[in-house]
Copies of this chain bind each other. A is one copy, B any other.
Amino acid sequence: VQYLSFLSQTKRDPLAAFMFALALMPAPAHLSMGQGELPINQDFSISLSANPDPRTSAAAARLLTHLSKRTGMPFLPNPQQPKLVIECAAAGQPVQALNEDESYKLTITSQQAILSAPNPLGVIRGLATFEQLVAPSSSGFAVPALTIDDAPRFPWRGLHIDVSRHWIPVDVVKRNLEAMAAVKLNVFHWHLSDNQGFRIESKRYPKLQSMGSDNLFYTQAEVTDVIAFARDRGIRVVPEFDVPGHSTAWLVGYPELAAAKGPFEIGRTWGIFDPVMDPTADYTYDFLDNFIGEMAALFPDAYFHIGGDEVNGREWDESPRIMEFKRAHGMLAKTGAPSKKDLQLSDEKLQAYFNQRILEIVKKHGKKMMGWDEILAPDLPKDIVIQSWRGQQSLADAVQQGFQGILSSGYYLDHMDSSAVHYAVDPLIDPKTKQPLNLTPEQSARILGGEVCMWSEYVTAENMDSRIWPRTAAVAERFWSPQTTNDAKDMYHRLDQLSEQLDWYGVTQRSSYTPMLERLTGSQPVEQLRTLADVVTPVGLGGRARARKYTQQTPLNRLVDAARPESVTARKFSDKIDAADWVAVRALLILWRDNVPPLQNALLQEIAPVSAALKNTATLGLEALDFIETKKHPPQSWTKLAGEVLADAKKPKAEVNLAIVDPVRKLVEAAAK
């Protein structure tokens, strides 16, 4: 039975309907409902038919802790008989590998649940499913009787977190790993260095962190702890050290690595910087050999990400020494003034040369290399992985050449797109034509999956969770569930509940919201500001960059930073318009029209135009509703004015968008019909 048939079942069976309301996310590949439910009471306990891998018992203990939180029940020390039996066939690999089996089968009757899996990873995934099934029932808490037979669609399902541009402490990383495990993601891509900060301790080159991090970095002990924490949850940790560009923070302590003469300072702004490593110097490769060796020993994963993106080449072109190197190595004509195009090509060749040398180092230390689109060159070995920020076609090119790849284009959280937008992006479907990529089965199989990217120009530890969650859960479903699981309405129905469940893992995507708003109002009541904040969303990266000059030290404490990337209120309002629930629609419009948030202080003054736009849009919506309900046709002058009001309201103000504009436009259009 496919998941979609489960949906249709729910319309018949009250228990199934109840359970449909659960946030099973990602949706399992196959599910069939049984009869009745298995109570989860204080006698609940777990038995392991065997314990071939310590991760299995650790996952079982974690389930008990989570269930105790979720239900508020302390479990009794001497339970009667196991309610959940875990059968794990064999131990997993010493280092979690790509393509390791993650499948599981979960059978729940009113008597007992049995979770069987070939491998501890399947146990971990199955327990995540089990946990999502627990809900209050007529007898206390329970899980429904059912059978789930499940396995992922893609083997690489990642979340990339940039900890360089803003510092993200260990506890924030850990709670996000916990949430990742809840939605069955399996790769944490740790973007550890960039222009704005070198975030990990090197014992070999301590000036990397001591001069490049404002003293905000992970010790190696902390990194080891995070890796173990991730492994326990079935998550691989892939480190990224972006070279030869995006490397200013390295150069502060080690200017001898640089193409240009120092000194260098930690980058405080955003964008593509000039500072770049010198790919012509032996020192650079000796340094990277030592450094990568140190890191390769610390990070057990088979893959090592070298970044490789966004090298502008300026400092290479300005260096006589490097220009000479390029000429000597045939990257540039020996004589004559090169054109801009020639220079660009020569820099690409120089970077390819650099990548080849880095590749040797990475291989020497036992790792497979990974990098962004820019590293792609025909003479690289086929086991490298290309991470594409450019899109599915770039990815298709790579796999057609025999490389492996993962998709990140379409999964950039800092663009502030909706969950539905990200959910619709499929690694195997061309976003323009909506058709499957033109690939052979072998080529398709080389598209390993994808990674959600959390770049941190405009996030801090305080609000990062709210940017990652719950949107990332929608993408996690894209990576795990069958391609045919793609109904956005159904996804949202489950996402809203999953978002509540994530609270129990300590992620702050919901809990940070009100305090951030209260900070703005100080001693004033927060309710009216929240009414406004509920229907605005932050502009994306570009909008923020255009709005003002941000630096790493600009406070991110304004409405735009508190607002969530997606307005649940506006979505539900839109649904009520579609359902012609005019009573509810009118009540919301009146609430918004009459809303008067406090604007007295410096941080709130900027939102006056947002508040005015909300009032105007709501007023317009009420007028449209009057026309609809009285079945009168609006005069043309009104329709024209309505267009102007909407156009104005649609423009970002104070770096936020008003999320009710499009729904109100639907009302205006309905009125004009």
A residues within 8 Å of B by Cβ?
Answer: 18, 21-23, 42, 70-74, 76-77, 135-140, 214, 462, 497, 500, 503-504, 511, 515-516, 518-524, 553, 555-557, 561, 600-604
Contact = CB atoms under 8 A, between A and B. Distances in A.
A518 B500 CA distance: 8
Contacts of A503: 515, 518
Contact of A136 (B22, B74, B500, B521): B521
A602 B135 CA distance: 11
A600 B17 CA distance: 13
Copies of the polypeptide in the assembly = 2
Contacts of A524: 21
Nearest to A39: B602
A209 B600 CA distance: 56
Main secondary structure of the interface of A (DSSP, over half): loop
Given A214-B77, A504-B515, A138 B601 contact: yes
Contacts of A72: 462, 516, 519, 555-557, 561
A628 B23 CA distance: 49
Nearest to A555: B73
B136 A520 contact: yes
A21 B522 contact: yes
B74 A553 contact: yes
A135 B523 contact: yes
Contact of A138 (B22, B77, B140, B602): B602
Given A42-B553, A76-B553, A522-B21, A140 B603 contact: yes
A503 B519 CA distance: 11
Contacts of A70: 519
Contacts of A462: 72
Nearest to A503: B515
A609 B647 CA distance: 51
A56 to B, nearest CB: 22
B21 A523 contact: yes
A524 to B, nearest CB: 8
Contacts of A77: 214
Contacts of A74: 553, 555
Contacts of A22: 522-523
Given A136-B603, A503-B515, A71 B522 contact: no
A77 B214 CA distance: 9
A602 B523 contact: no
Contact of A522 (B136, B139, B603): B136
A241 to B, nearest CB: 25
A516 to B, nearest CB: 7
A70 B139 CA distance: 44
Given A138-B602, A521-B136, A603-B140, A557 B516 contact: no
B71 A555 contact: yes
A556 B18 CA distance: 24
Contacts of A603: 136, 140
Nearest to A557: B72
20 contacts: A21-B524, A42-B553, A71-B555, A72-B462, A74-B555, A77-B214, A135-B523, A136-B519, A136-B520, A136-B521, A136-B601, A136-B603, A136-B604, A137-B601, A138-B600, A138-B601, A139-B602, A497-B523, A500-B518, A511-B511
Contact of A137 (B521, B557, B602): B602
A114 to B, nearest CB: 24
Given A21-B522, A72-B555, A74-B553, 9 more contacts: A42-B553, A70-B519, A71-B555, A73-B557, A135-B522, A135-B523, A136-B602, A138-B602, A140-B603
B553 A71 contact: no
Contacts of A601: 136-138, 140
Nearest to A508: B511
Contacts of A555: 42, 71-74
Nearest to A521: B136
Contacts of A140: 601-603
A326 to B, nearest CB: 39
A310 to B, nearest CB: 26
Given A500-B518, A511-B511, A515-B503, A71 B136 contact: no
Nearest to A23: B523
Contacts of A511: 511
Nearest to A510: B514
Contacts of A561: 72
